[in-house]
Amino acid sequence: MTTRNQLMRLRDTLTAAAGAAVLLLTVPGSAYATEGDFSYTYIDNSGAEEQATLHDPASGRCITLGEAAQEYSQPPAHSPRNRTASVAIVFRNADCSGDEYTLRPHTGAAGERLKFRSVIFH
């Protein structure tokens, strides 16, 4: 009986190890950050223009700008400057939806006419 118990324990151990391996393979890797700064202008609650900067933002993840997220109560951000090592794609709406505009790495910029609420870096 001892051999049978040992075989059952070995089988259980192997099953647990296989399950752990499957979990490791299915969990997506963490997003990496792009190096550099992405700045933009937004209107604060008092109506004044303010500057904000994302330092080394995450790549491959949609970033909705908190200062411009609410479509009906906040104006969109404008005048983006992409000084990161990645392409920045800005979107008219929150959650990276709606019309989009691409900004080159390091030198990409646009003026006041480009309105956006979210950005993703690739």
pTM over 0.75: no
CATH number at residue 61: 2.60.20.10
Q: Does the residue 65 lie in any domain?
A: yes
For residue 108, being part of any structural domain is answered with yes
Whole-number Å distance between alpha carbons of 56 and 17: 37
Flag whether 10 is in a domain: no
Q: How far apart are CA 100 and CA 115, in angstroms?
A: 10
Is 6 part of any domain?
no
List, for residues 22-53, the tens digit of each pLDDT value. Answer: 444 444 444 588 999 999 999 998 999 999 99
Count the domains in the chain: 1
Comparing 5 with 20, the larger pLDDT belongs to 5
Tell me, what DSSP letter sits at residue 58? Answer: B
Tens digit of pLDDT for each residue in 43-81?
Answer: 998 999 999 999 999 999 999 999 998 887 899 999 999
d(CA 81, CA 104): 10
Q: Can you say whether the dihedral through the CA atoms of 101, 105, 106, 107 is positive or negative? A: negative
pLDDT at 121: 98
Please say if the pLDDT value at position 3 is more than 80.
no
Check residue 31 and give its pLDDT: 59
Is residue 91 in some structural domain? yes
Q: Are 114 and 78 in contact (CB under 8 A)?
A: yes
Q: Is residue 25 in a domain?
A: no
Band the pLDDT of 82: cuts 50, 70, 90. Answer: very high
19, part of any domain: no
Comparing 30 with 108, which gets the higher pLDDT?
Answer: 108
Tokens of 59: 């790549």
Please report whether residue 24 resides in a domain: no
Dist. CA 35–CA 49, nearest whole Å:
26
Domain of 65, in residue numbers? 36-121
